């Protein structure tokens, strides 16, 4: 009798991550009659669930992130998507070319192909007080926590699209939002910069970095700022700090050397295959020029079609082998 914790379940393809790329891959897998499993650690949708408004996805001039996530999940399920809630611990390719995917719930899944769409995790500032006041003033998700700061004065840290967009979103709750960037110039799109800079509730602070986050029993109360040009220190009283300085790709799940860039983003070929045969990557953890919902679903579409061809070629190779193995 097999111990439940060592149970092995076989699929044609395992999709790690249930964000836009993962859900699109699941939908195309179903259309291609592939037996697919999606493993997502939370609710289907990924970062869509942390985004209030989507205005750059074709066909939807404006849609709530959670609503688009629900539509994508329903579409995938219509074509038979099997979505389980669990957290993947490791992806490993065995000697026979099959992949073994292990999870925190002690499940072991097998498939000849894997598409990793696991996105990334927010980058921390790494300053004193950040960990101490996490959940007590320090946040990495405006949609999740913005409502807790009604009428407050808060700060948003970062200079990219996420920081600009979330600063604007937070003005619906906060009385005042400081937008703090370490440089003079912002990296975000011109449209988002214009919106943020013209918002009367947003005050932009350039060329300063957070040196420490201070507080007390009630939570965050103050930021220690350092001028990057003069070195001068200053205080900024705030009750909330929202940090949007980027994220680290969740590529560490792969337990084999693979080609990647200096940031850990996965290098793929034009079929979305990584340097490991049978392992494909789609979405935000892949090396590419931009990371948008549209690029994520495009990656996933290509990856699934490539998987179909890979599986067909693998089957032919096995059939042609005298021993029936690849």
Contact yes or no for 212/127 (Cβ under 8 A) = yes
Print pLDDT tens along the chain (326 aa): 334 444 569 999 999 999 999 999 999 999 999 999 999 999 999 888 877 778 889 999 989 989 999 999 999 999 999 999 999 999 999 999 999 999 999 999 999 999 999 988 889 999 999 999 998 999 988 877 898 999 999 999 999 988 999 999 999 999 999 999 999 999 999 999 999 999 999 999 999 999 999 999 999 999 999 999 999 999 999 999 999 998 889 898 999 999 999 888 999 999 999 999 999 999 989 998 877 899 999 999 999 999 999 999 998 888 877 655 54
Name beta bridge partners: 9: 109
Q: So which residues are the catalytic ones?
A: 141, 144-145
Distance CA 116, CA 95 (A): 20
**Residue whose token pair is 């011109």:** 190
Q: What are phi and psi of 197, to 5 degrees?
A: -70, -25
Give me 87's structure tokens. 């957290």
What domains can you pick out in the chain, each with its CATH number? 4-122+247-320 (3.50.50.60), 138-243 (3.50.50.60)
Give me 91's structure tokens. 């992806």
Which of 135, 157, 257, 150 lies closest to 211, judged by CA?
Answer: 157
**Residue whose token pair is 């407050």:** 152
Distance CA 24, CA 17 (A): 11
Give me 242's structure tokens. 């929202």
């Amino acid at each position: 009798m097999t111990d439940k914790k060592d149970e092995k379940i076989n699929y044609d393809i395992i999709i790690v991550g249930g964000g836009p790329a993962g859900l699109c891959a699941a939908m195309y897998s179903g259309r291609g009659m592939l037996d697919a499993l999606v493993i997502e650690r939370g609710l289907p949708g990924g970062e869509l669930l942390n985004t209030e408004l989507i205005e750059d996805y074709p066909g939807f001039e404006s849609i709530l992130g959670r609503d688009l996530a629900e539509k994508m999940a329903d579409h995938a399920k219509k074509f038979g998507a099997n979505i389980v809630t669990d957290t993947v611990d490791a992806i490993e390719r065995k000697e026979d070319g099959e992949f073994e995917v292990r999870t925190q719930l002690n499940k072991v899944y097998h498939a000849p192909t894997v598409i990793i769409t696991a996105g990334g995790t927010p980058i921390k500032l790494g300053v004193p007080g950040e960990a101490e006041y996490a959940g007590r003033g320090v946040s990495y998700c405006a949609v999740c926590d913005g409502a807790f700061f009604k009428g407050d004065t808060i700060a948003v840290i970062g200079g990219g699209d996420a920081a600009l967009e979330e600063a604007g979103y937070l003005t619906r709750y906060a009385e005042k939002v400081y937008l703090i960037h370490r440089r003079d110039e912002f990296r975000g799109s011109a449209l988002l910069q214009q919106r943020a800079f013209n918002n009367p509730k947003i005050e932009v602070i350039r060329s300063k970095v957070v040196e420490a986050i201070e507080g007390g029993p009630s939570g965050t109360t103050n930021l220690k700022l350092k001028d990057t040009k003069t070195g001068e220190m200053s205080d900024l009283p705030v009750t909330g700090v929202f940090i949007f300085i980027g994220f680290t790709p969740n590529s560490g799940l792969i337990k084999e050397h693979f080609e990647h860039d200096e940031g850990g983003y996965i290098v793929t070929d034009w079929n979305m295959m990584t340097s490991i045969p049978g392992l494909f990557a789609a979405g935000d953890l892949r090396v590419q020029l931009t990371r948008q919902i549209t690029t994520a679903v495009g990656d996933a579409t290509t990856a699934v079609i490539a998987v179909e061809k890979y599986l067909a070629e693998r089957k032919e190779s096995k059939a042609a082998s005298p021993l029936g193995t690849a």
